[in-house]
Amino acid sequence: MKKSYILPLLCFVVIYGVLSTVTIGFGFFGTEYGAKTTPGQPETKRYTVTLLHEGKTQTLPLEEYLYGVVAGEMPASFETEALKAQAVAARTYTVNRSRYPNKDHPEANVCSQSSHCKAYLTPAELEEKFQNNPDGLQHIKQAVDATKNQIAVYNGEPISAVFHSTSSGMTENARDVWGGDLPYLVSVVSEGESASPRYTETKAFSFEEFSQKINNGERKVTFSDNPQTWFSGWEKNETGSVKSVSLCGVPFKGTELRTLLGLRSTHFEITISDHIAITTKGNGHGVGMSQYGANDMAKKGYTYDQILKKYYTGIELSAIDDV
């Protein structure tokens, strides 16, 4: 090696090392270096994620973690392009969540509770789940591998790539569900949702059961003797989901009623007879990518990047290294 190359190379090594340390120090992904890795070959860098699973914290390679997430979040029988879109969404979600400490588990980037972060199957659980369907596991791993290190970005930043099982036929605006307005989480038409076994559901409640469930919440309602007068002031979002409704004069958000009554979605209608019947459309919060909608697009020949760009408005795909 010529002498003139040594100083710039040394500078690069030092700067690279410092940057890596700073990155880890801020709780972003760690990096692992294989035996053949050198600072001049960043393509061999492997990202790691710290996971809280069953009360224990463990650090594992990001892509290996994603095998367990995609397998936990989407059926292996879904189309390849839908699984690839799911892999990118899950990877992006993880990168986004890892950029700052999680207030509920600051010791870990993510946890394995689907209600809090994302579902995750351990290698042993994967083996058990797919013991009679090894091709299914291969299908999932290939979808993760085929999109390795790819994430969705908006204005160069990893997006909050939330997703859900089934929409009502339109996805929801993030602001209507959580209050925060994100330009890439806006309502879009989503076809093919009726293929989902959870597209519609009707739940029946006796009047007593209904009033008890409502009063399990923080605010109490004094229900009158005439259930026909209980509901008033319906306000709906542009998607047709319930924004708010009053129960005997007490206003409730659609999202509150979904939680209190255990409804699949906020897109619901009510029929009152000798009981209350609530029929929902869709399954989940309805924001971001619909998994059944993604599968429908894949069946129609759309590719994973087209699927992602449909459900996350204005995004681009990028390598993790570039953000």
Please, what sign has the CA dihedral across residues 187, 177, 147, 137?
A: negative
Determine, following the binding rule CB under 5 A, whether residue 49 of this chain makes contact with Zn ion.
no
CB of 152 to Zn ion, least distance (A): 20
How far apart are the C-alpha atoms of 111 and 132, rounded to whole Å? 28
Q: How far apart are CA 70 and CA 141, in angstroms?
A: 9
Answer positive or negative: Cα dihedral of 72, 73, 79, 83. negative
Residue closer to Zn ion, measured from CB, 52 or 289: 52
Nearer to Zn ion, 49 or 308 (CB): 49
Min dist CB 50 to Zn ion, Å, is 11
State how far the Cα of 156 lies from the Cα of 308, in Å rounded to an integer.
16
Select 49 or 276, whichever has its Cβ closest to Zn ion: 49
Nearer to Zn ion, 116 or 300 (CB): 116
Closer by beta carbon to Zn ion, 98 or else 283:
98
Which residues between 103 and 162 bind Zn ion (CB under 5 A)? Answer: 111, 116-117
Interaction with Zn ion in 268-287: which residues (CB under 5 A)?
Answer: none
* CA torsion, ordered 167, 172, 174, 178, to nearest 10 deg: -80
DSSP 284-307: S--BSEEHHHHHHHHHTT--HHHH
Least distance to Zn ion, CB of residue 207, Å: 37
Q: Cβ of residue 72: shortest distance to Zn ion, in angstroms?
A: 13
Q: What is the dihedral of CA 28, 309, 192, 82, to 10 degrees?
A: -50
How are strands ordered across the β-sheet holding 150-154? Answer: 157-158, 150-154, 316-319
Dihedrals phi, psi of 166, to nearest 5 degrees: -145, 130
Find the DSSP H helices in 26-122: 62-73, 80-97
Nearer to Zn ion, 101 or 227 (CB): 101
The nearer residue to Zn ion, 36 or 56, going by C-beta atoms, is 56
User: Given the complex with Zn ion, which of 82 and 111 has the nearer CB atom?
Assistant: 111
Q: DSSP assignment of 7-31, as one string? A: HHHHHHHHHHHHHHHHHHHTTS-EE
Smallest distance from the beta carbon of 105 to Zn ion, in angstroms?
6
Q: How many residues bind Zn ion (CB under 5 A)?
A: 3
Nearest distance from C-beta of residue 60 to Zn ion, angstroms: 15
Q: Are 237 and 262 spatial neighbours (Cβ–Cβ below 8 Å)?
A: no
In angstroms, give the least distance from the CB of 275 to Zn ion. Answer: 37
CB of 218 to Zn ion, least distance (A): 23
Q: Enumerate binding residues for Zn ion (CB under 5 A).
A: 111, 116-117
